Structure 1
Amino acid sequence: MKTLSISKYVLIFSLFIQATAFAAETPKTDDKPKGTKTIMLISGAFVTSDGWGEWKSYLESKGYIVIVPAWPYKDGTVDGLRAKHKDSIPSEYDLKKIVDYHAAIIDKLPEKPILIGHSFGGLIVQLLLQRDKGAAGIAYHSVPAKGVFVYKYSFLKALSGPLGLFRSEDTTFLMSFKQWQYAFTNGMPEAEQRAYYDKLVVPESRKVIRGALKDMGKIDFKKEHAPLLFVSGSTDNIIPASLNKKNYERYIKYQPEGSVTEYKEFEGRNHLAMSQPTWQEDVNYIIAWASKY
């Protein structure tokens, strides 16, 4: 009986060792997507979609399928677009047309994507969620919905040129390097500011950006929506954290039971936070949040 008992212990120990070895050889999947595997990164006004390059590569390394559509009139090189749209952009484009364009891409996907939109792209995310086009949405340093406003000097100063309210909406606006330094890249070394300016900045349609002030930029805050996260930065001049928080609070005030809206402010982030050294901290927080839903 004693010998049989020892044999059993030897067998159990042997099986335990084999199981441990098998587990060690099995790749870990904790950082892989468990729900929605598709992400759409939506760029904002004044720039091309090339600012998402590092995010796209990083998210793909985590197992996501990442789509980064260029706006319909921004598919080209910076130099080419600056020359092509120096004075005007086809008048057919407005905010609704840009939202329709992204919605049409989503409709061809096998699943509703996680939507991450920067700046004006954040407003597009809100409008797409209103159409039930996303599994979850992240409004990253987002332009607010119509009717959400703050009287903060940096916000008014940074937007006065782009909106150009005393100029025709059929004109374009190309941000100067000085305006770029203040609105997007404050706090960065000048060499980095210049490099990103040369890489990203293109003429923008005033008609499109003024759409945020019209009914096409309106959100029905009482309507049920997929989970939505607002992310802001403490040093963002053009879209200050207080404006993002006010947009978030408007949802919280009216949203129906069952909808989820959350807010996160990161310290030391300017408007081009997607390209600051801390960008991985931002994207990791966003993905961890989205994975809950």
Structure 2
Amino acid sequence: MKTTTTKTIVFITGAFVSSDCWNEWKAYFEEKGYATISPAWPYKDAPACTLRERHPDADIASQRLANLTAYFTSIVKQLPEKPILIGHSMGGLITQLLLQKDLAIAGVAIHSLQPKGIFTFKFSFYKAGWPALGFFTNANKSYLMSFAEWQYAFTNGMPYEDQKEAYYKLLVPESKLVVRDATTDAAKIDFNRPHAPLLFLAGSTDRFIPASLNYSNYKKYNHTASVIDFKEFANRNHFVLGQPGWQELAGYILNWLNQRSIAKS
């Protein structure tokens, strides 16, 4: 295998949470010698508590997936070298979209939102995601997840106090339109196209993005010469980035980068 290395990692945040969700991950990988960035989404470059105070926020409500993809494309193109992309949830979908543009030497999609055309019949997926779609509500107003919704969709299985701390530390308002865009051509992937190495990580207790949905996403890729891997972790919910034991996933990613000859030079 041809060895391609980089010292740069771009962390791509998902919907509903602040980019501060990557703070411990950044420190972990920087300790290993990487340079990392975790850009906030447009209109979200403020503490989570400040963004909640602004809700409903028309600017956040106007966000669309195509705009986000263009935003991260611009950031990545300005870097001195092609990076590794590590994205969570909608950030995992954006990671896949940027790999289609040949903008990274590798991608890691953690509990990734599905591209267009991939479905699941899991009830939890629809229960967790339906309120955020905001059908029959004003799309010009941002959506703010309630604590009860957060407990069900993100932090199921965690102690109450940990759920509450995570909610107030990281929860932010979201665009209903950007969530809906996952079913449009803005989320379309050409699964037959060559791509950089791509790793999918899934969690057995994730209600928002079930592991089976991640596996279906992984299996859709058909370019046999491209590297693609999948790993499911037990007892991981959608808050996997901050769930106790997150270091196991970070270590797995680091080992995967080494095994695939992508680790920093």
How far residue 91 of structure 1 moved from its aligned partner, in angstroms, is: 6.2
Kept after mapping to 1: 8 A contact 2:87/2:110: yes
Residue type of the alignment partner of 1:39: I
CA distance in 2, matches of 1:227, 1:165: 37
User: What's 1:257 paired with?
Assistant: 224
List, as ranges, runs of 4+ consecutive aligned residues in structure 1 with deviation greater than 3 Å.
none
User: What's 2:233 paired with?
Assistant: 266
Structure possessing the higher relative contact order (Cα contacts under 8 Å, 6 or more residues apart): 2
| Structure 1 residues 257 and 249: alpha-carbon distance in aligned structure 2, compared to 1, 3 A threshold | closer
CA distance in 2, matches of 1:189, 1:157: 21
Residue type of the alignment partner of 1:82: R
User: What's 1:135 paired with?
Assistant: 105
Residue type of the alignment partner of 2:218: Y
Corresponding residue to 2:157 among 187, 212, 223 = 187
Corresponding residue to 1:68 among 38, 55, 58 = 38
CA distance in 1, matches of 2:47, 2:253: 29
Kept after mapping to 1: 8 A contact 2:86/2:107: yes
Partner-residue secondary structure (3-state), 1:231: strand
CA distance in 2, matches of 1:170, 1:280: 38
Partner-residue secondary structure (3-state), 2:201: strand
Q: Give 1:164-243 correspondences, 5 Å limit.
A: 164-243=134-213
CA distance in 1, matches of 2:224, 2:155: 39
Partner-residue secondary structure (3-state), 2:39: coil
CA distance in 2, matches of 1:94, 1:83: 22
Partner-residue secondary structure (3-state), 1:117: strand
CA distance in 1, matches of 2:131, 2:244: 28
Deviations 1:27-65 (A, max 9, x none): xxxxxxx92110011110011101111111111000000
Kept after mapping to 2: 8 A contact 1:136/1:227: yes
Kept after mapping to 2: 8 A contact 1:88/1:172: yes
User: What's 1:83 paired with?
Assistant: 53
Corresponding residue to 1:157 among 127, 149, 165 = 127
**Cα-Cα RMSD:** 1.3
How far residue 273 of structure 1 moved from its aligned partner, in angstroms, is: 1.0
Deviations 1:118-143 (A, max 9, x none): 01100010001011111100110000
Structure 1 stretches lacking a partner, 5+ long: 1-33
Q: Give 1:13-28 correspondences, 5 Å limit.
A: none
How far residue 264 of structure 1 moved from its aligned partner, in angstroms, is: 0.3
Aligned: 1:125 with 2:92: no
| Structure 1 residues 265 and 90: alpha-carbon distance in aligned structure 2, compared to 1, 3 A threshold | closer
Aligned: 1:53 with 2:23: yes
Aligned: 1:114 with 2:84: yes
Per the normalisation by structure 2, the TM-score is 0.93
| Structure 1 residues 213 and 168: alpha-carbon distance in aligned structure 2, compared to 1, 3 A threshold | farther
